[in-house]
Amino acid sequence: MKRILVIGAGGQIGTELVPHLQKVYGHDNVIGADLKDEAVAKIGSYARAIKLDALDFNAFGQAVKDNNIDAIFNLVALLSATGEKNPELAWKINMGALVNSLTLAKEFKAAVFTPSSIGAFGVSTPHDKTPQDTVMRPDTIYGVCKVTGELLSDYYYHRFGVDARSVRFPGIISNGCLPGGGTTDYAVEVFYEILKTGHYTCPIPEDSYMDMLYMPDALNAVVQLMEADPSKLKHRNSFNITCMSFCPRELFAKIKERIPSATFDYNVDPVKAAIADSWPNMMDDSCAREEWGWNPQWHIDAMVDDMLKAIGAKLGK
């Protein structure tokens, strides 16, 4: 039985990953840590929660030691668009949390999961059927951190035997906690805005394709990869995974089929547009399928139905 510490647990992924891990590994075997008091209070309503600055190596180490942690799930990150506003801070936070996770994993013989992202790719990467192993020259500080993180995690595996595994997450669509500061956020924001006001102004060009994943598939991916037979893994950091690829125009058409009164327009953010344009249109995830059985279930129609239902209920619509 694993004893898991999730750092950065108060964000979009952590809010749903902690309860998911509790179901799989037992309620008391999962601890959620976050820097912010409000996040710690929120996590504390469904799991053991600790306030932790993942950049404070000693405090992080003490938490790992005191709780007999044998798996660290590192979700600490400034996302792509926010990262461009303060690249030095993004490097400090994104790399600081990862370096501390890997160093402590080496010391305490723990496994590490740190998501990478489609952000690890750049303009010079093939955009269609983006291969697992290909050109990785990202154009954002977020992407630079992701590629560095992938290399460092593989280094810790080969050099010190740290069981580090990872996936390259596409945009994740969910209805728990809002994402913040990402380029793919529009695909979540639109549901709230349409249900609240009937209108959405999109910052991404209408024909910009990006990979997307619905949260239930993302949660399954994390557990499935961390439970995979290590002898079957030819790759570790990180696996391409995806389920759908669409552009804003296509997503909005799906919403309009269900809510005919919904209206959309565009006010393109040049920073986000350039980032979206540099990322894959659709990744090839066949290595994940072959090496650990990745088999996502949620395609666009089912996702849109579920998002409208869940967010509608949340907003009392």
Could you list the active site residues? 142
Of 8, 11, 32, 182, which one interacts with ligand AKB (CB under 6 A)?
182
Rounded (5°) CA angle 65-58-13: 75
User: Candidates 44-52, 116-124, 199-207, 214-222 — which segment interacts with ligand AKB by CB under 6 A?
Assistant: 116-124
User: Candidates 24-32, 96-104, 117-125, 299-307 — which segment interacts with ligand AKB by CB under 6 A?
Assistant: 117-125
Nearest distance, CB of residue 57 and ligand AKB, angstroms: 25
- Give the total of residues touching ligand AKB (CB under 6 A): 12
Under rule CB under 6 A, residue 184 binds ligand AKB:
yes
C-beta of 260 vs 270, nearer to ligand AKB: 270
Nearest distance, CB of residue 85 and ligand AKB, angstroms: 13
Nearest distance, CB of residue 51 and ligand AKB, angstroms: 25
Nearest distance, CB of residue 189 and ligand AKB, angstroms: 12
Under rule CB under 6 A, residue 125 binds ligand AKB:
no
Q: How many whole angstroms separate alpha carbon 29 and alpha carbon 5?
A: 9
C-beta of 101 vs 278, nearer to ligand AKB: 278
What would the two tokens of residue 119 be? 């952000």
Q: How many whole angstroms separate alpha carbon 317 and alpha carbon 257?
A: 18
Closest by CA to 306, choosing from 216, 244, 242, 240, is: 216
Nearest distance, CB of residue 184 and ligand AKB, angstroms: 4
Site for ligand AKB in 42-81 (CB under 6 A): 79-80
C-beta of 8 vs 171, nearer to ligand AKB: 171
Residue nearest to ligand AKB (CB): 182
User: Candidates 66-74, 121-129, 180-188, 240-248 — which segment interacts with ligand AKB by CB under 6 A?
Assistant: 180-188
Closest by CA to 131, choosing from 288, 303, 312, 299, is: 288
Of 119, 138, 149, 248, which one interacts with ligand AKB (CB under 6 A)?
119
Of 33, 71, 118, 303, which one interacts with ligand AKB (CB under 6 A)?
118
C-beta of 165 vs 168, nearer to ligand AKB: 168
Nearest distance, CB of residue 25 and ligand AKB, angstroms: 25
Q: How many whole angstroms separate alpha carbon 141 and alpha carbon 132?
A: 21
- Write the CB contacts of 60 (distance below 8 Å, at least 6 apart in sequence): 7, 52, 53, 54, 100, 101, 104
Nearest distance, CB of residue 80 and ligand AKB, angstroms: 3
User: Candidates 177-185, 199-207, 255-263, 300-308 — which segment interacts with ligand AKB by CB under 6 A?
Assistant: 177-185
Under rule CB under 6 A, residue 138 binds ligand AKB:
no
What would the two tokens of residue 205 be? 């060009």
User: Candidates 3-11, 114-122, 239-247, 256-264 — which segment interacts with ligand AKB by CB under 6 A?
Assistant: 114-122
Contact footprint for ligand AKB (CB under 6 A)? 79-80, 117-119, 142, 169, 171, 179, 182-184
